[in-house]
A and B are shown apart, each in its own frame.
Chain A
């Protein structure tokens, strides 16, 4: 499989503490890629580097063989939601979807159609409420961000902790949505999560980060969850 995202000799440190050190990793087209690790393992840092939001100390990230730091082509086909910094909190959700849609050249009708398809996921709490995004709950804000990332019909979808703050039904629906995108649209999905259950359910490949290093790189099978649980279990004495 051709790789859509490659990292080479990627290094990032803050105040001389290395937070990410990936000599090499390739993510293939259509792969669903899960990133797990404890707080501070470097998950968000890795995603931010892929999205060219922070500067690598050395090495580079290639998206479709082009360095993300040196050209902007990846923006056309990458949808992402990492945190609230991706939302515009003084807009209503509709206004935000319209803005994102216009930026990505979607027609008004397409946007409406898309929002209509997500009705169940939104659970009647997001559209038509005349609330600004900043007045929504954390979980609903996250839904807006994830929906906007999916709406632009990306080839690569990057989500940081998509399951946290969501209620159980929404978690379930989100997993369904992601699986469908993967099967029907063949998009590449990158997800980070603290929740081993969700991530093993959605992802074919799971990479464990520990203090910035890749310590496991697994293809998901029936034993993966157990392996991961064993790895993360706090070893008592």
Chain B
């Protein structure tokens, strides 16, 4: 029986549609994944040396022990976004004479194949071998690593339990992030130190081998909890996705309908955004990009360095437009025949698309104004980049949309779902982000920084002033390519 599961698993892997993507994308992703693993491995290998920096208060093992609590929290949130439940895979087995307990066990073991469960082997195993082994002896080092591993597996089963009980809602992720944030604040102000709890455990286990029982026990408990959960919910209706109620969010926009066809098209796009898994992940991504500034601004960088500010400014104000706009037509690939044959003039359609990119950009600009806290210059650069995004990038996206001819299935998540992502699209983001940067370099070399920023601002303003003209050009360009685009969108 186990053989059957193994057989199915193997076939699923090798016959996955993933392999049927075009070669270039596969190579790109392959290189990306290999790099990612190499980076993790490299980080793991040099972890001791990185942490041994002069001036470090603690030895590397203590720092790792303190950090592990945070590591698990971060990984858990990432799992929340990325890790899929394997439940649907067993749907075709339900009517076959296979014991439910077997299927339930399979589901549990299947979840172990998630990439996250392997991270400790890359990140902490080299450290264990290189540093912990020589310092504390092989036996202690193995136990130490085993504890890390079993906590990771606990996190795996905990996540699955969590995800099966609660659908992924922005609220829940928000709560998780708030919990993490407050834990680290409490830690910082020495109210309650999660890192010292973590330290106590992971340092303690080196002396008290028996503490290994704790993660093994939690692993077993959550394994069993999931096993029961699976066993009792092996029905088709449980396996599928839970119904989501997004009526509420989108009904607030109902008024758009009174703005004629353009309003209706925008309303439709808003519904698309909120009701499909893939587009929803853009909504999750946007706040992260918008908060990107926090990574750079507080570091007290040379205030004259507007290059970094320019990059950050483009990303912050384009936090929605850049990830969303790249697929501005492809989002509707499944109903493209409807769009083409409906009584919508193409220019009206493109104008709606322009507003769909611009309105959130305006909102993001307003939200980004508090960054002025870190200096007036930041507000100034962000303002320039905002106008550039609206006047140049949004229009540029209307043109590049015609190159994106891959159908997208919106019900699959964004992470690791590269459907519709061609090499074109990856390259697409570069000019959006780096072109203004290059302009800045050139203008600065020719004139000076103040003039350079003004010139970019003027470029943006000109784009806004003549946007109707550029939209018409984009429409013409689209008209020329429309059969090819529609044909690409029909290929599932």
Contacts and interface: CB of A to CB of B under 8 A. Distances in A.
Contacts of B341: 51-53, 75, 78, 80, 86
Interface in B198-244: none
A64 B264 CA distance: 29
A87 B343 contact: no
B260 interface: yes
A99 B264 contact: yes
A205 B267 CA distance: 42
Contacts of A75: 341-344
Mostly helix, strand, loop or mixed at chain A's interface? loop
Nearest to A78: B341
A102 B264 CA distance: 7
Given A88-B268, A91-B268, A103-B343, A82 B337 contact: yes
Given A53-B486, A103-B261, A132-B275, A72 B336 contact: no
Contacts of A119: none
A54 B264 contact: no
Nearest to B489: A85
A190 interface: no
Nearest to A104: B343
Contacts of A132: 275
Interface size range on A against B: 20 to 34
A86 B487 contact: no
B334 A55 contact: no
Interface residues of B, number: 29
B264 A87 contact: no
Tell me what chain B mostly uses at the interface: helix, strand, loop, or mixed.
helix
A55 B345 CA distance: 19
A96 to B, nearest CB: 9
A89 B337 CA distance: 13
A90 interface: yes
A100 B341 CA distance: 11
Contact of A85 (B336, B343, B410): B336
B340 A51 contact: yes
Contacts of A85: 334-338, 490
B272 interface: yes
Nearest to B261: A103
B114 interface: no
Interface string B385-408: 000000000000000000000000
Interface of B: 247, 257, 260-261, 264, 267-268, 271-272, 275-276, 334-338, 340-346, 410-411, 483, 486-487, 490
12 contacts: A53-B340, A72-B346, A83-B337, A84-B334, A86-B338, A86-B341, A98-B264, A99-B268, A102-B260, A102-B261, A103-B261, A130-B247
Interface of A: 51-55, 72, 75-76, 78, 80, 82-91, 95, 98-100, 102-104, 130, 132, 134, 152
